[in-house]
Amino acid sequence: MAYIIAQPCIGVKTAACAAICPVDCIHPGTDQMYIDPVVCIDCGACEPECPVEAIFEAEHTPEPWRSYVGKNADFFRKA
């Protein structure tokens, strides 16, 4: 499973994570950045670049933010 971006990114969207991504799978939405789960290669390069610590491996997303796993996937289904 790919990485996801959770609640701490809401309203921040610095895009530092997108700049480091080797496969260009991180895209801005209206409220936050999103990681395309189909394109993500699970390299983890984005995680330490996030200034608000909003990036998690989907299966290790903290319980309060588990809904963001689906939110990230849904963003690309609707695109």
- Give 5-46 as a 3 state SS string: ECHHHCCCCCCHHHHHCCCCCEEECCCCEEECCCCCCCCCCC
Which structure tokens are listed for 21? Answer: 């991504």
The pTM of the full predicted model, rounded to 2 decimals, is 0.92
> 2 pLDDT exceeds 90?
no
Q: How far apart are CA 67 and CA 48, in angstroms?
A: 22
pLDDT tens per residue across span 35-68:
999 999 999 999 999 999 999 999 999 999 999 9
> 79 pLDDT exceeds 60?
no
Percentage of the chain with pLDDT > 90?
Answer: 87
Structural domain that includes position 74:
3-78
Name residue 55's beta-bridge partners.
5
Domain containing residue 67: CATH number = 3.30.70.20
Total structural domains in the chain? 1
